[in-house]
Chain A
């Protein structure tokens, strides 16, 4: 068969045979995909429906609000959620970057993977166990340190006296949160640090840079968006964390920046967990409305993180 005959005799275009198996299989995968969309829409819809009465009902008829409006009830909780998460990130980010650098660039090659597993173990511990540990072990352990801090540094607004007698303050809760988000931030930044172009690292070393100078000039600039998005995902986790905060923090409500006293703001998630089992009537609607607010906050935070990751993808490669 010569090329000329092949091109001159044009075969009619063959359509792929439609088999019932193909239709059924493709259809079921499509259904599953749409089911996820439907489920998410249902989550949003049900939460919105259930939380409408919280805002529309007269505050006097909702016992849990104690005469306040919904917004003045939820404001301290929002503050507590953001404040504890911010403190947790403040502690977790530097340590996580250190751990990620240790595993990716400092630890012996053969140990590195094992060390990574060890940090991943922290992520495997259930949050209720963290809560138990934080309330029974960590809080009594740090309490003497807290009273020492309030005595010597009491002039500093964050360390204002009197120190809590139990140690179950917002700082302790934030330490527990920091331990919980640590593995998330570490795992992601480690991945990014490992992707640094080896040529860049070798170039820096060849120019006489010490290891730290190499990391500062080649690894950290490359990994910065990764660190930012990892921190945002960690923030999302810290905002939504319930049990550890509910068990560690002894919340008294109100907006208060002091870290070591016994009057601490609660968080949205912990407040739901503590109040929901006894809630009835419109109280439930109020709690669900606060949950919706939490959902919205974490949604915004996570979307920003995803956006940063997606933007990063466009110019990855060797830049």
Chain B
């Protein structure tokens, strides 16, 4: 026994070496530099091509993983080497997810600013071939349809969440909870097909209306509103309700005057996030509201363009001057991203400012 122990001494955290704190960073910098040198040489031999930043980062991370594993294995032993390797992998996963995000935002901003001008926000596409024109008809359509969807889905969603939290008991509330979950999973294009099917049955086949688009968006929006408002209502402490009941306040007034004001910040945030989610939906609007080059303010008559469909259409059916269509598509994409980001930001600000003060 003792012989085998002395033959293979167990690595001990106190006796074996440890890498110092700066060592991983030095190794990381060294491997990135190495990768940069490799790609720089490749570029020099290749000639015209741009310097490959993405490739440098990827190869640098791979070199770092191998290097830190080997160094740690030699100094600290197998267990710590594995630990360092996993740390490298996990951090690499995060960096890997940042790559598409940065690339996407970068390309949208650089390509989108080209046509992000006054003309884009004042012209529709009526009678325009090739250059010029803009997306005002799409912006108006998006705003109209999204607002209508919000007007339909916020009351239904909010009342349903109140039912689930304050009134609902038994099989009906369980069924509603289950089917709200089912609705969350409806593919967006199926919602569009539903709205189309309803209106095709009433107005005959081939009908495309702004209101149909709004209804398909509402189908997608209701479950999100129900979910978020339900969570917010559940956060209201029961003591508040009981205090109101003890003072003889009727239940409906308790909900209106005590429960809702307490949770209004969270509910507003949820609604804004739901709007941000549906404002970027393309497929249902393509199917239910169609596309057009003209400005249309009437939800109940004629096709209605929306910003996502505008982007899709400009890309899919490029005219003779393809670059002009692509430029408009990118400008539309930039507008869309700005709207969504703004809504998300506003939602967070609302949540922070109007949140009830905790712990008095």
Chain A residues in the interface with B (C-beta under 8 A): 19, 21-22, 24-26, 28-37, 39-40, 42-43, 46-47, 49-50, 94-99, 101-103, 106-107, 115, 118-119, 121-122, 124-133, 135-138, 141, 179, 182, 186, 208, 210-213, 215, 233, 236, 239-243, 246-247, 269, 272-273, 276-277, 280-281, 284, 287-288, 291-292, 294-295, 298-299, 301-303, 306
CA distance A118 to B344 in the complex (A): 12
Task: Indicate whether A129 sits within 8 Å of B337 (C-beta atoms), given known contacts A32-B160, A37-B176.
Answer: yes
CA distance A23 to B107 in the complex (A): 56
**30 A-B contacts (beta carbon < 8 Å):** A19-B252, A25-B255, A32-B156, A36-B180, A42-B194, A47-B194, A94-B93, A99-B97, A102-B90, A106-B90, A124-B276, A126-B336, A126-B340, A127-B282, A129-B280, A130-B104, A132-B311, A179-B97, A211-B86, A233-B185, A241-B187, A242-B187, A247-B315, A269-B187, A269-B283, A277-B286, A284-B200, A287-B193, A291-B187, A301-B185
CB of B290 to closest CB in A, whole Å: 7
Instruction: With CB as the reference atom, state the residue of chain A lying closest to B179.
Output: A40
How many chain B residues have a CB neighbour from A under 8 Å? 95
Chain B residues in 8 Å Cβ range of A241: 187
Q: Identify which of B83, B168, B197 contacts A211 (C-beta below 8 A).
A: B83
CA distance A136 to B87 in the complex (A): 34
Q: Is the CB–CB distance between B312 and A128 below 8 Å?
A: yes
Supply 18 further A-B pairs (C-beta < 8 A) apart from A33-B176, A240-B190, A298-B187.
A28-B159, A29-B162, A32-B155, A95-B93, A99-B90, A103-B94, A121-B101, A126-B336, A132-B333, A135-B315, A212-B86, A212-B87, A240-B186, A242-B189, A272-B283, A284-B200, A291-B190, A299-B182
Chain B residues in the interface with A (C-beta under 8 A): 13, 54, 79-80, 82-83, 86-87, 89-94, 96-98, 100-101, 103-104, 107-108, 155-160, 162-164, 166-168, 172-173, 175-176, 178-191, 193-194, 196-198, 200-201, 205-206, 219, 222, 226, 250-253, 255-256, 276, 279-283, 286-287, 290-291, 308, 311-312, 315-316, 326, 329-330, 333, 336-337, 340-341, 344
Chain B residues in 8 Å Cβ range of A122: 97, 100-101
Chain A residues in 8 Å Cβ range of B79: 210, 213
Chain B residues in 8 Å Cβ range of A46: 194, 197-198, 201
Chain B residues in 8 Å Cβ range of A182: 97
Chain A residues in 8 Å Cβ range of B155: 32
CA distance A311 to B329 in the complex (A): 46
CB of A93 to closest CB in B, whole Å: 11
Q: Is the CB–CB distance between A50 and B200 below 8 Å?
A: yes
Chain B residues in 8 Å Cβ range of A33: 159-160, 163-164, 168, 172-173, 176
